[in-house]
Structures are given as structure tokens and as C-alpha cells.
């Protein structure tokens, strides 16, 4: 899959967890640039996603109020969000449209759009931003991988094993951002 056609790109923000290490759902976190949830959505829209699916769970009712008022943004609730990130990703993929998804997490505030641009300029049906060689987000998954990936998702395991097994293209972005999730 060559450089991605952004008009057929769907973003997914995973924001369903309870944020146990943080002490409250990360979907409700507010930082210097406003709600983390809105910041993640803005990142994907600025990166060219035609549509963004936000997967909520813990604190879903309160989190909806933090989303940008934009017709391109759809909030969905992972009914079994307590099962972990696998269930949240499966829910996001079930609501996605287009030819590829660009997946990010709510707890990565400060990620610059340059990371998205670099990831989308790379080749491969599976692409992952890495930071100093450490796997991170965003992750691009082409349509042909949605169903097989969804079949492998279980509990609190995300896509990492699937990506490695299917030859993910790692795109170094450590010069652009630290890629660290914010647990506190």
C-alpha cells in the first residue's frame, strides 16, 4: 500500500479504559491544550482522516461532552470495555469505514501532526510509529487486515503480536516526539 489516500482514511481513538494507574478515565483528562480526548481527535483530523471513531467506555457520558462538535466525529461505546484494549480496538474496527484506519490512544497528548504525516508517507499495509525503536502510536492498518486482526484481539492484548507477525513497517518518529503515554 503506497502513500495513503487521506480521503479514505478513518481515524480511531482508543479511550475506553478506566485509567486505574491514573486514578480516573484518561478520556476525562484535561491538559494544557484542553481535553486529551479532543486533542487526539484534532490530531487525526489534522492528519487528514475523513472520519474519526472515538471508542469510549469508562466515563463515556462525561467524555462525550469533551469531543469536538464535528460531524466527522462519531463516539461509540465498547460494551465490554473492561475486558481491555483488545475489545476497544475490535469495537473501533467494527465502526470504521474507508480503506485504512489510523489508530491512536487518548493518553498521548502533544503528538505532533508531523508524526501522522511521516507515517502516512511510508509504504506498507501495516505501519507503526516507533520512538527510539520502541513501538508506539499511531498505527496504520489497511482494510485487508481489519477482519484478521479483529479475530486475534483478546482481553488486554492489542495489535502488537499481529503487527509483528504480519511484517509491520516501523516508522521512526523519535526525532518528532517521545511517544510516551501519560499515566499520571
132 CB burial (10 A radius; 0-12, 13-18, 19+): exposed
Predicted TM-score (pTM) above 0.85? yes
Per-residue pLDDT at 156 = 81
Per-residue pLDDT at 23 = 61
* pLDDT by 10-residue block (mean), the chain, 184 residues: 72 87 81 93 97 96 95 96 92 97 96 97 97 97 97 89 97 94 68
Per-residue pLDDT at 3 = 53
Q: What is the CATH number of domain 7-172?
A: 3.90.550.10
**Residues 48, 90: Cα–Cα separation, whole Å:** 22
Per-residue pLDDT at 2 = 46
Amino acid at each position: 500500500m503506497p502513500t495513503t489516500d487521506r480521503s479514505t482514511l478513518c481515524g480511531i481513538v482508543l479511550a475506553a479504559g478506566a485509567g486505574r494507574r491514573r486514578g480516573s478515565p484518561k478520556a476525562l483528562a484535561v491538559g494544557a491544550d484542553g481535553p486529551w480526548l479532543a486533542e487526539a481527535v484534532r490530531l487525526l483530523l489534522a492528519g487528514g482522516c475523513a472520519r474519526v471513531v472515538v471508542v469510549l467506555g469508562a466515563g463515556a457520558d462525561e467524555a462525550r461532552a469533551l469531543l469536538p462538535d464535528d460531524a466527522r466525529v462519531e463516539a461509540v461505546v465498547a460494551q465490554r470495555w473492561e475486558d481491555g484494549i483488545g475489545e476497544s480496538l475490535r469495537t473501533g474496527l467494527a465502526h470504521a469505514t474507508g480503506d485504512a484506519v489510523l489508530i491512536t490512544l487518548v493518553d498521548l497528548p502533544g503528538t505532533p501532526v508531523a508524526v501522522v504525516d511521516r507515517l502516512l508517507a511510508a509504504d506498507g499495509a501495516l505501519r507503526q510509529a516507533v520512538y527510539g525503536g520502541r513501538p508506539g502510536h499511531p498505527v496504520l492498518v489497511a482494510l485487508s487486515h481489519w477482519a484478521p486482526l479483529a479475530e486475534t484481539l483478546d482481553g488486554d492484548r492489542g495489535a502488537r503480536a499481529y503487527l509483528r507477525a504480519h511484517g509491520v513497517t516501523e516508522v521512526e518518529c523519535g526525532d518528532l516526539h517521545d511517544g510516551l503515554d501519560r499515566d499520571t
